[in-house]
Structure 1
C-alpha cells in the first residue's frame, strides 16, 4: 500500500515537473515570438523612416538642382534680353547727344536717360553675376570666393579674413560650396548683424574642411534643430550632397561657427 502511494506521488511529481517544463517552454516561446515580432516591426519602421529621409533628401536635391537651373536661365535672360537692349538704348542716347540739332533741354533729358540706363545696366549685370558667377566656371572656387568676399567688403561694412586653398573637386561641388558660403555671409549680415568674418578652406589627407565664423548676434541652436529656416535647410542639403559632416554652434551675443568636413576622390 505504501509502495502504491509512493508510486502515485512520484507520478504526480513527474507530471508537475513536465507541466512546469512545458509551461516554461511555451512561455519562453511566446517571449521569443513577441521579441522577434517586435524586432521585425521596429526594423520595418526603421526602413520606412530611412526611406522617408532618403525621399526627402532626393526632393531637396531635386529642388536645389531646379533652383540652379532657374538661376542660370534668369542670368542668361538678363544678359541676352535686358542687358543687350539696355546697351542699344545707351548707344542710341549717345548718338542723340552728339547730334548738333539736339537742344540743351533735350540733352538734359537724354543725359538723365543715359544715367538711368547705365545704372540699370550695372544692376542687371550684378544680379546676373550673383546668380551665376562666371569666374567660378573659368577660374575655380578659390578665385570666385575671393571675388565674392572682396565685393562684400567693398559694398558693406563687413571685414572678412580668409585663407583659402584650391580644391580638386567637380564644378558641381564647387558651386555647392560657393552657395553655402554665399548663404552664410548673407545670414551673418542680414540676421546676425556681424561686421567680422573668418573663413578657412583647407585640404587634409582625405578631403577638405570648411570653417566659417562670425561675430554676430548668434542664435538658439536648439530652436534651429527643431525648426530650421529655408536658408539653413539649403545649407544642410548641400552639405549632404557633398557627403559632408555639417556642424554648427552658436551662443546669443557671441557669434556663430559653422564647420563642414568632407572626403572626396581627387579628379585628374
Structure 2
C-alpha cells in the first residue's frame, strides 16, 4: 500500500506538473502573440494612414500651387496659402524619407515593415518624388508659373499611382499578418484543449481509479485492524512479561559486571602490591646486599696501610662493587619507571629494553616502531603491557625471539606482540589466579585505556597478542 501510494503520487505529480506547464506556456505564448498582434496591427494601421496622408498632401500642395499661380489672388490669401504650402511640404518631405527608412517616430516610435515589394515601389516613385520636391520648393521661393504647374501635374499622376500601390500593399501585408496570427491562435487553442483533454484522460482518470483502490484497501484494512488489535492486546501482555524478565536479567548482568570490575580492580591493586614486594625484594637482595658489601670493603680499606700492596687491589674491588651497585640501581629504577620514557618517548625505551634483555638473557628482541610521540598515559600503558608480555615470555615461553610492532593509523594505535615459544592454552590461563595471571593483567590495562585485547596461542606454536587502542583515550 505504501509503495502504491508513493508510485501513484509520484507519477501523477510529474504528469500534473507537465500538463500545467504546457498549458501555462501555451497561455503565455498566446497572450504574447495577441499583444504583439495588436501592437503590430496598431502600427500597420498608423503606417497605412501615413501613406494615405502622403497622397493627400501631394494633392493639397498641387491645389495650393494652382491657387498661388492665380494672378488675381490678393496678398493676404497668397501669404496664407504660402504658409500652408511650406507646412505641408515639410511634413510630406519628412514622412516620405522616414517611411522608406523605417523611422516613423511621431507621435511615437512605430514599427514600419517594408517588404521588398514596397521598397521596389519606393524605388520607382523616388524620381517623381524628387521632381515634385524640386517643383514645390520652387513654388515656395517664387510665384508658380504655368510651366511649373504643368510639370507638377505631369509628375503628380505617376506619383499618386505608385502611392496607391504602396498603400494597397501595406494594407494587404497587414491583413496577411493578421490572418497568420489568427491561424497561430487557432493552433494554440487546439493545443490547449488537447492538453486539457490529455490531462483529464491521463491524470484525473488514474486519480479516480486510485481513490477507488484506496477506499477498497481502507475497507479491507479496517477488518484486519480489528483482528490486529486483538493480537496486539495479547502481544502487549506478553511484552510486559518479557520486559520484566529483561529488567531482571539486565539487573543481574549489571551486578555481575560490577562484581567482575571490582574483582579486576582489586586484582590490579594486589598486582601492584606484588610488584612493590618484588621491587622491595630486589632492592633488599640486590642493591642492599651490594651496599653492605661496599660498606665492609670500605671498612677493610680504611684499616689498611695505603702503602700496603693489597691496598690498590682492595680499592679496585671497591670501585667495581660501586659500579655494579649503580647498574643494579639503574635496572631497578628502569623497571619501576624509566625516565627515558617521559623524556624521549616509547621508542627510546624499547631500544633500552631490547639491549638489557639481550644482555641478561639468550632471547633476541626485535621491534618496529611506526609512531611518533604518543600521549604520556598511553606510552606508560603500552610499555607496561610490553613489559608484562616480555616477562611472561622470559619466565614461561622458552622462546628464542620476541617481536614488538607498534603502529599508529587513523587515530588508533596498533600493538602486536609475538614470540616463538612453547605457547599455552588460553582457556587454562583463565582458571589461574588473577594476581599471578599476566594475560589478565595486560587485558585489564588495555581495558583501562579503552582498547581491545586479543590473544592467540597454541601449544608449541608460540603466542600472538593483538591490541588496538584509541589515540585519545
Counterpart Cα distance in 2 of 1:131 and 1:252 = 32
- Point out the structure with max Rg over C-alpha: 2
Aligned to 2:358: 153
Is 2:464 aligned against 1:257? Answer: yes
Q: 1:184 to 1:29 in 2, by over 3 A?
A: closer
Q: Which has the higher helix share?
A: 2
Following superposition, the deviation at residue 109 of structure 1 comes to: 4.2
Counterpart Cα distance in 2 of 1:261 and 1:171 = 17
Is 2:257 aligned against 1:50? Answer: yes
Q: CA deviation digits over 1:41-67, x for unaligned, max 9? A: 112112212322343444456557778
- Tell whether the 8 Å contact from 1:192 to 1:217 is kept in structure 2 after alignment: yes
Counterpart Cα distance in 1 of 2:449 and 2:240 = 43
Counterpart Cα distance in 2 of 1:202 and 1:29 = 52
Counterpart Cα distance in 1 of 2:412 and 2:234 = 55
Following superposition, the deviation at residue 133 of structure 1 comes to: 1.2
Q: 1:57 to 1:167 in 2, by over 3 A?
A: farther
Is 2:408 aligned against 1:176? Answer: no
Counterpart Cα distance in 1 of 2:348 and 2:325 = 26
Q: When the two structures are superposed, what TM-score results if normalisation uses the length of structure 2? A: 0.43
Following superposition, the deviation at residue 30 of structure 1 comes to: 7.3
Q: 1:252 to 1:180 in 2, by over 3 A?
A: same
Q: CA deviation digits over 1:186-235, x for unaligned, max 9? A: 21122000011222100111211001111000001221234464322221
Q: 1:189 to 1:27 in 2, by over 3 A?
A: same
Work out which of the residue numbers 442, 447, 451 in structure 2 matches 1:240.
447
Is 2:392 aligned against 1:199? Answer: no
- Tell whether the 8 Å contact from 1:89 to 1:117 is kept in structure 2 after alignment: no
Aligned to 1:162: 367
Which residues of 2 match residues 63-212 of structure 1 at below 5 A? 100-101=306-307, 103-212=308-417
Q: 1:121 to 1:147 in 2, by over 3 A?
A: closer
Counterpart Cα distance in 1 of 2:397 and 2:322 = 35
Q: 1:159 to 1:245 in 2, by over 3 A?
A: same
Q: CA deviation digits over 1:66-115, x for unaligned, max 9? A: 788x59x97xx99xx97xx79x969968x9699744x2345444444443
Counterpart Cα distance in 2 of 1:255 and 1:109 = 49
Report the secondary structure of 1:257's partner residue: strand
Report the secondary structure of 2:407's partner residue: strand
Q: 1:89 to 1:64 in 2, by over 3 A?
A: same
Report the secondary structure of 1:191's partner residue: helix
Q: Which has the higher strand share?
A: 1
Q: 1:97 to 1:205 in 2, by over 3 A?
A: farther
Following superposition, the deviation at residue 123 of structure 1 comes to: 1.7
Counterpart Cα distance in 2 of 1:115 and 1:169 = 39
Counterpart Cα distance in 1 of 2:408 and 2:268 = 25
Counterpart Cα distance in 1 of 2:233 and 2:470 = 53
- Tell whether the 8 Å contact from 2:450 to 2:470 is kept in structure 1 after alignment: yes
Q: CA deviation digits over 1:125-182, x for unaligned, max 9? A: 2222222211111101111112111221233221222111234432122111111111
Q: 1:97 to 1:108 in 2, by over 3 A?
A: farther
Q: Which blocks of at least 5 consecutive residues in structure 1 are unaligned?
A: 1-23
